[in-house]
Amino acid sequence: MRSLLLLLLPVAVSVCSSCDNAPSPADRDATKETVTLFRSLYKLQNNGIMYGHQDDLMYGRTWWYEKDRSDTKDFTGDYPAVAGFELGHLELSRERSLDSVNFAQIAEQIKVHYKRGGVITLSWHADNPLTMQIPDTSARPRRTHGTAWDVSSKEVVASILPGGKNHEIFNTRLERLAGFFAGLKDNNGAPIPFIFRPYHEHSGSFFWWGTSICTDEEYAALWRYTVEFLRDKKGLHNILYAYNTDRVTSLEQYMRGYPGDDVIDMLSLDMYDRGEQFGRELDTALNFVTSEALKRKKLTALSETGGRRGMDNWWSAVLLPVVSKYPVGYVLTWRHTYMPRGFPARPGMPPVQMPARPFPDDFMNFYNSPRTLFLKEIQEEDIYKRK
Ligand code: BMA
């Protein structure tokens, strides 16, 4: 039996590497589960839109890390298909993220969500590796000093690339990230596949990797260096890489700084509803982003979005009709910031209380739509094909 298997093995491998036309991760050495996840998601994006929620498994506005708790589940009875987690400050070896979430608990919930059969996506609001080393000498200390949002220097990306004066600092940061990623294993020791979305919203200029803070070439080099570090140097083959921009109005604008099909697995877009024109703008952008993704055999997502203030039926009247037109893999809404005492109001004023329920009633229309997929529906699809 063993000799038969040995004989068959090279055949099986060559059959697979010759199935060129099957959509595959950019990483040619991606683990079996990662390849299976990629293919499942590629197929699934034509059938329905998964719902994702950032930090859903970690906290809600009034609760903090309770076993098996989730705002999505509290409200609909099911977990989100996609669970988002944030890595900011992992690069500094901190125990907790910039949102005070414990990294060991994040790793725990990644394992739990994977076991349940859900999709995992990780974002990274990395501190500014250049300005965080310099004391803030401005007259009024800036809240953003040294953070991901510190855009006071245009040298930062160049300074961390090979040859730059902060290159070793950057390597140390990537090393720490790689250490965390290497620990993401299931009970059998197999690496857990996940979607990694660093350096996000490149078309905006509010992060140190933003479009007017570095050149397109520097941005692409930053991406390539990161992937090569994690994939080739650290031997991590369980990562699907998501390219991402903020609001864009043309494909040309979207692709500025794109590092290449050989490092990217997903073309994703972040767009929040800031008013009337949102539906039209989202429609235009999803049209060109998703058709470009399919042309390149990549995954797609509306990887961050959020409703318009004061609008009761945003989920069913604005979001759903637009995303339903396109092969969008998932839509993810951002975290429900933990604020048990309410929003901080102006000094001397009482805090503004949180809404009693985590989602508006209209979220149920989104949940009940035959177009949307939550965890149970994903479980039926068995996206990792584990035995
Ligand atoms: C932002 C905000 C911040 C948070 C960051 C990372 O969009 O929610 O408060 O620190 O994401 O999660």
Tell me the pLDDT tens digit for each residue of 21-33. Answer: 799 999 999 999 9
Distance 94 CA to ligand 1 centre (A): 17
Best residue for ligand 1 mutational test, from 54, 125, 206 (most atoms within 8 Å of Cβ): 125
Protein residue with its CA nearest to atom 7 in ligand 1: 334
Asked if 364 contacts 320 with a C-beta cutoff of 8 angstroms, the reply is no
Instruction: Pick the atom of ligand 1 nearest to 55's CA.
Output: 12
- Confidence band for 349, pLDDT divided at 50, 70 and 90: confident
Asked if 322 contacts 328 with a C-beta cutoff of 8 angstroms, the reply is no
| Residues framing ligand 1 (Cβ under 6 A) | 86, 88, 98-99, 125, 334-335
More reliable by pLDDT, 351 or 319: 319
Distance 22 CA to ligand 1 centre (A): 37
What pLDDT was estimated at residue 354?
Answer: 78
Instruction: Pick the atom of ligand 1 nearest to 98's CA.
Output: 10
Instruction: Pick the atom of ligand 1 nearest to 99's CA.
Output: 10
- Confidence band for 19, pLDDT divided at 50, 70 and 90: low
- Confidence band for 5, pLDDT divided at 50, 70 and 90: very low
What pLDDT was estimated at residue 342?
Answer: 86
More reliable by pLDDT, 118 or 310: 118
pTM of the model: 0.94
What pLDDT was estimated at residue 9?
Answer: 43
Protein residue with its CA nearest to atom 4 in ligand 1: 99
Read off the pLDDT of each residue in 11-29 and give the average, rounded to a whole number: 69
- Confidence band for 345, pLDDT divided at 50, 70 and 90: confident
Distance 207 CA to ligand 1 centre (A): 12
Asked if 385 contacts 44 with a C-beta cutoff of 8 angstroms, the reply is no
What pLDDT was estimated at residue 360?
Answer: 95
Tell me the percentage of the chain whose pLDDT exceeds 90.
87
What pLDDT was estimated at residue 348?
Answer: 81
Asked if 150 contacts 213 with a C-beta cutoff of 8 angstroms, the reply is no
Is residue 194 predicted with pLDDT exceeding 50? Answer: yes
Distance 258 CA to ligand 1 centre (A): 24
Protein residue with its CA nearest to atom 12 in ligand 1: 86
H/E/C letters for each residue in the chain? Answer: CHHHHHHHHHHHHHHHHHCCCCCCCCCCCCCHHHHHHHHHHHHHCCCCEEEEEECCCCECCCCECCCCCCHHHHHHCCCCCEEEEECCCHHHCCCECCCCCEHHHHHHHHHHHHHHCCEEEEEECCCCCCHHHCCCCCCCCCCCCCCCCCCCCCCHHHHHCCCCCCHHHHHHHHHHHHHHHHCCECCCCCECCEEEEECCCCCCCCCCCCCCCCCHHHHHHHHHHHHHHHHHHCCCCCEEEEEEECCCCCHHHHHCCCCCCCCCCEEEEEEECCCCCHHHHHHHHHHHHHHHHHHCCCEEEEEEEECCCCCCCHHHHHHHHHHCCCCCCEEEECCCCCCCCCECCCCCCCCECCCCCCCCCCHHHHHHCCCEECHHHHHHHCCCCCC
Distance 224 CA to ligand 1 centre (A): 25
Protein residue with its CA nearest to atom 9 in ligand 1: 99
- Confidence band for 10, pLDDT divided at 50, 70 and 90: very low
Distance 270 CA to ligand 1 centre (A): 14
What pLDDT was estimated at residue 20?
Answer: 60
Q: 279-295, pLDDT tens digit by residue?
A: 999 999 999 999 999 99
What pLDDT was estimated at residue 353?
Answer: 82
More reliable by pLDDT, 325 or 347: 325
Domains of the chain, start order: 32-132+146-339+351-381 (3.20.20.80)
What pLDDT was estimated at residue 28?
Answer: 98
Read off the pLDDT of each residue in 144-168 and give the average, rounded to a whole number: 97
What pLDDT was estimated at residue 309?
Answer: 86
Distance 96 CA to ligand 1 centre (A): 14
Protein residue with its CA nearest to atom 11 in ligand 1: 125
Protein residue with its CA nearest to atom 3 in ligand 1: 99
What is the C-alpha separation between 260 and 162, in angstroms, rounded? 19
> How many alpha carbons lie under 13 Å from residue 72 in its C-beta half-sphere?
26
Is residue 332 predicted with pLDDT exceeding 80? Answer: yes
Q: 302 — phi, psi (to 5°)? A: -95, 90
Read off the pLDDT of each residue in 181-206 and give the average, rounded to a whole number: 98
What pLDDT was estimated at residue 15?
Answer: 42
Residue 298's nearest CA partner among 253, 263, 333 is 263
Protein residue with its CA nearest to atom 10 in ligand 1: 99
Tell me the percentage of the chain whose pLDDT exceeds 70.
95
Q: 228-254, pLDDT tens digit by residue?
A: 999 999 999 999 999 999 999 999 999
Q: 112-138, pLDDT tens digit by residue?
A: 999 999 999 999 999 999 999 999 888
Read off the pLDDT of each residue in 154-182 and give the average, rounded to a whole number: 98
- Confidence band for 372, pLDDT divided at 50, 70 and 90: very high
Is residue 18 predicted with pLDDT exceeding 70? Answer: no
What pLDDT was estimated at residue 3?
Answer: 44
The CA-to-CA distance between both ends of the chain, in Å, stands at 21
Is residue 374 predicted with pLDDT exceeding 70? Answer: yes
Read off the pLDDT of each residue in 71-90 and give the average, rounded to a whole number: 98
- Confidence band for 352, pLDDT divided at 50, 70 and 90: confident
Distance 336 CA to ligand 1 centre (A): 10
What pLDDT was estimated at residue 1?
Answer: 43
Residue 289's nearest CA partner among 345, 243, 338, 334 is 243
Distance 377 CA to ligand 1 centre (A): 29
Mean of pLDDT over the chain: 94
What the block records as the tokens of 150 is: 């510190």
